[in-house]
Structure 1
Amino acid sequence: MKKRLIVDIDGVLADIYGQFRKFELEDFGHNQDLSKITGKLEEEAFVNGEIYMATQGFFRHASVIKGSVEAIEKLNQRHDLFIVSAATKFPNSMAEKQEWLLEHFPFITWEQIVFCGTKEIIKGDIMIDDHFKNLDKFYGQTILFSQPHNLNRIENGHSRVTNWKEIIELLS
């Protein structure tokens, strides 16, 4: 029987830190050193983070995290896979994220994309996310995708991974 796999977008499939740094470079002429923002949530690390996320094109033009396309394609064949994003806080992000997914993950159908306000309502067997707030409330296997904001925290029962190769190995 296939397991239901829940996969986050921001920080797991899409390089959101790259977007924050790109926007800051345009606004302030510099990139923050990632080591100086380790342990800080995006809103703390990037002064204009919420403004950037509400800006047209922020989500649409994010880079794809290395290895995610191939891994998701493989996992999509073995699992009931759903891409889930708590996107309703930034309404323009929903259309941008859907367009982004269609471009980079064309094998994902519209029926596999879920936009919500909170991931507490999401049920499945496995969740891959970069935020503790989502994983801590999930009633299944949890995989923490390493990002600067979660590096100084103890895994708290979640399996930590640093790349998509490790996810494939963990779920094989």
Structure 2
Amino acid sequence: MKTLKRIAVDMDGVLADTDSHFLTWYYNAYGVQIPYEQLVGKPEGEGFPDKGAAHKFAFTPGFFRSLPVMPGAVEVITELMKDYEIYIVSAAMEFPQSLPEKHAWLQEHFPFISWHNIVFCGDKSVINADYMIDDHPKNLDKFKGVAIMFNAAHNANINHHQRVNSWTDVLALLKSLN
């Protein structure tokens, strides 16, 4: 039996669209429409007039449970599961209420992923896979396999990892690597 290569896939900013969610929550809380471009190139949460807003939202019950799914994520993950072992790897310790919310979110949007393939952790440097798809360079910098950076506003000026802009790009890149 052929051993499948493993892909570690981040949740927030990769499977779930945190950028648009922060913008929506900011508008709902403050009544101010922030253009996406105002977030580009700034550390996560620092593109808002109220610098503590994103952190406050991340601690608010319901924030992680109501994240929108990144376009194409379900379809591409389904396709990749034919040729790879897929593990969802999410840092969930900083925001303790996010654990049950992230689990419920995965059950709703990715019910075909077994609980055996979900890893909630604090430090992703312990992850052993062939590929990691993540939006945070700090996670990719320590990764021993092939690091793939999923485009996000906060990583726009970082260029030391292979970048993908969409789930269509992920699929094309992985096909080209094998």
Scaled by the length of structure 1, the TM-score of the pair is: 0.95
Cα RMSD after superposing both structures: 1.0
Tell me the residue number matched to 1:13.
Answer: 15
Residue 42 of structure 2 corresponds to residue 40 of structure 1: yes
Q: Which runs of 5+ in 1 are unaligned?
A: none
Tell me the residue number matched to 2:54.
Answer: 49
Q: 1:116 aligns with which of 116, 121, 124?
A: 121
Deviations 1:36-75 (A, max 9, x none): 2211122322421111001010010110000000001111
Q: Which runs of 5+ in 2 are unaligned?
A: none
- The list of structure 1 runs, each at least 4 consecutive aligned residues, that deviate by more than 3 angstroms after superposition, is none
Distance 1:137 1:119 in 2: 8
Tell me the residue number matched to 2:146.
Answer: 141
Query: How many residues are matched?
Result: 170
Tell me the residue number matched to 2:30.
Answer: 28
Scaled by the length of structure 2, the TM-score of the pair is: 0.92
Aligned-partner residue type, residue 78 of structure 1 = D
Contact 2:23 2:36 (8 Å CA) reproduced: no
Q: 1:89 aligns with which of 94, 98, 110?
A: 94
Deviations 1:6-28 (A, max 9, x none): 00000000011121111111111
Aligned partner of residue 139 in structure 2, secondary structure: helix
Aligned-partner residue type, residue 163 of structure 1 = S
Aligned partner of residue 6 in structure 1, secondary structure: strand
Residue 82 of structure 2 corresponds to residue 77 of structure 1: yes
